[in-house]
Structure 1
């Protein structure tokens, strides 16, 4: 081989090595691309994927959305189902997709019912917050606008992250999920999925407030649930709303005094052209939208408006991804 040819081969090899090193160390990629990584914490290791939106630059802090997939899903499938990457490109936010490991759960469900995954600083919640910290180190993230949303098992874990890390997440979305600590055992989980939680949303509302260290702030929540959900009883969605209203009731002034309304301040009905009808219930206090619930009539266990090429999609429902982001845009933490 000639010296010139050897030089070309060596140059290409070095470029390939540099690219692999950049990916493995999490160096920001080009806009509009995936970045894969792993986070190692005191409670184990989990993989993750980050979508860096088109137009990203390191000089402009961006919102960050943590997207939690459900059982029998992975980040690629959840991204495809929700079309979140397309929304991120259009709106200019980063998306972090944590990936549940099969060695932790063979069906890739988040283990939300285990005690270590229901507290601050332990278990899977601590790993996900560790990923958020990692993304903040490597990208320009607006710490006031970090959000979390998920479906099914991811929706339940979303409730835990909102409850125990309300200083990290400005708002959250619980899709086809349940309230914080709806169940604390595997058998209890099966019961709550079928019939709703045996625990009081008011008690769990206080538990959630305590888990974040009794903060003085409301915790805005968006809940979406199908009225015919055959996997997670729709009562769980109602309990999630009540629980976070109680959490916000404690958070706004430090006591439970019904300062946050427990009944909707408005109820509206809509119909997707050629699709499902749905009801929207808003809970507003002092001009702040503290909670919003979507009840999608006739929908089973699914992501409303999802891409039909993926499991758990209900294309006839409203566009949950757009509705979620529109809710999130109304909320930010008071301080960085």
Structure 2
């Protein structure tokens, strides 16, 4: 990063804090026009890139995504055999988005779970699949993986628009589009409707929390990695505030959403403050749940604290994994993808364990 670029990003942050969002957007666009580095794993990312992520993670504009023709959707019938990673597209009244779908070996012989994976800013389905290694787990355990792709027309940095009020409720915006995409894949393939889950990283984690809140009859459990609770922000300034220290989620009372949720967050995350992970858990489990806390360690890796929240009947309703020393990255991820931290506990493995223990018939 050049000194000029760093100065432009500092100026953009200053303009955002002062409320001059138009000037801040222009400053960010000018900075990005001068340099376009490829995304890199967070541990190796320079400070200036992290500062850029702080701002660009919430920079968005609405442009109709109508230029590119829609690629063909998934085949209606699964062919047993080797796993496949296919491209598709979903369109409805809420808009259009491309996606990738992993179909595991032997699909079609029986109903299998579906995990929806929402990437973070600057990422795409292929990058996110590589970093989380979710397709390899799907091949071994037998489940579908759907990776919706955010477009640059909807957000210049490919962030899901979690912080905009028109993308936070049932039946509108990106939540409606993603729920519709999920339904389309369920119709086209042999999916177990009681075992449909959604997880995401950063902006994708925030959108996963929104989907669980808006469509609890569809998603049996939610995984939020380095994300924020539903309703933490309703515009760009409040998004910046939430990312820096926690927002004002929809659920701040002792009531629970009823959707089982597992949270991963690094306590050294300077992009999305770790307090947001606690708020995600509170929105799911409620503040009256009992909590069992364990101090654990990954052999040769990062120590972490796992808090297990239980309902009065003893049912596990939420887990909170606080990874000590971890930054803004997928815990236990592969260096083949961006924003991963191989030293932490494996978030993909633990999320799947949690998901499979929470079919829809137990959550509702």
Flag whether TM exceeds 0.5 (same fold): yes
1:289 is aligned to 2:316: yes
Measured in 2, the distance between the counterparts of 1:137 and 1:238 equals 35
Do 1:179 and 1:243's aligned partners in 2 also have CA atoms closer than 8 Å?
yes
- Cα deviation per residue 1:137-162 (whole Å; 9 max; x = unaligned)? 11100000000000100000000000
Measured in 2, the distance between the counterparts of 1:29 and 1:325 equals 23
Equivalence for 2:350: 323
* 1:155-166 map, 5 Å: 155-166=205-216
1:36 is aligned to 2:62: no
Do 2:229 and 2:283's aligned partners in 1 also have CA atoms closer than 8 Å?
yes
1:97 is aligned to 2:124: no
Measured in 2, the distance between the counterparts of 1:117 and 1:190 equals 17
Q: 1:200 offset after TM fit, Å?
A: 7.1
Q: 1:310 offset after TM fit, Å?
A: 2.2
Equivalence for 1:268: 294
1:168 is aligned to 2:218: yes
Equivalence for 2:98: 47
Equivalence for 1:85: 135
Secondary structure in 2 aligned to 1:60? Answer: coil
Equivalence for 1:300: 327
- Cα deviation per residue 1:102-153 (whole Å; 9 max; x = unaligned)? 1000110000111121110111011111111111111100000000000100
Do 1:159 and 1:179's aligned partners in 2 also have CA atoms closer than 8 Å?
yes
Find the structure with the greater CA-based Rg: 1
Q: 1:199 offset after TM fit, Å?
A: 4.9
- Cα deviation per residue 1:171-207 (whole Å; 9 max; x = unaligned)? 010100011100011111011101111457425x86x
Root mean square deviation of aligned Cα: 1.8
Measured in 2, the distance between the counterparts of 1:141 and 1:71 equals 28
Measured in 2, the distance between the counterparts of 1:290 and 1:196 equals 22
Do 2:128 and 2:338's aligned partners in 1 also have CA atoms closer than 8 Å?
no
Secondary structure in 2 aligned to 1:334? Answer: helix
Q: How many residue pairs end up in the alignment?
A: 289
Q: 1:278 offset after TM fit, Å?
A: 0.4
Secondary structure in 2 aligned to 1:172? Answer: strand
Equivalence for 1:5: none
**Selected match of 1:177 from 221, 227, 232:** 227
Equivalence for 1:26: 74
Equivalence for 2:194: 144
Equivalence for 1:232: 272
Listed as ranges, the gaps of 5+ residues in structure 2 are 1-70
Measured in 2, the distance between the counterparts of 1:180 and 1:323 equals 22
- Cα deviation per residue 1:268-322 (whole Å; 9 max; x = unaligned)? 1111111100010001122311010000000000100111232211100011110
Listed as ranges, the gaps of 5+ residues in structure 1 are 1-22, 210-217, 247-257
- Cα deviation per residue 1:192-238 (whole Å; 9 max; x = unaligned)? 101111457425x86x95xxxxxxxx210001100010100001011
Equivalence for 2:114: 64
Q: What TM-score do you get using the length of structure 2 for normalisation? A: 0.76
1:311 is aligned to 2:338: yes
Do 2:73 and 2:87's aligned partners in 1 also have CA atoms closer than 8 Å?
no
Q: 1:64 offset after TM fit, Å?
A: 0.4
Measured in 1, the distance between the counterparts of 2:234 and 2:360 equals 30
Task: Name the CA shift for 1:315/1:105 in 2 (closer, same or farther; >3 Å).
Answer: same
Secondary structure in 1 aligned to 2:114? Answer: strand
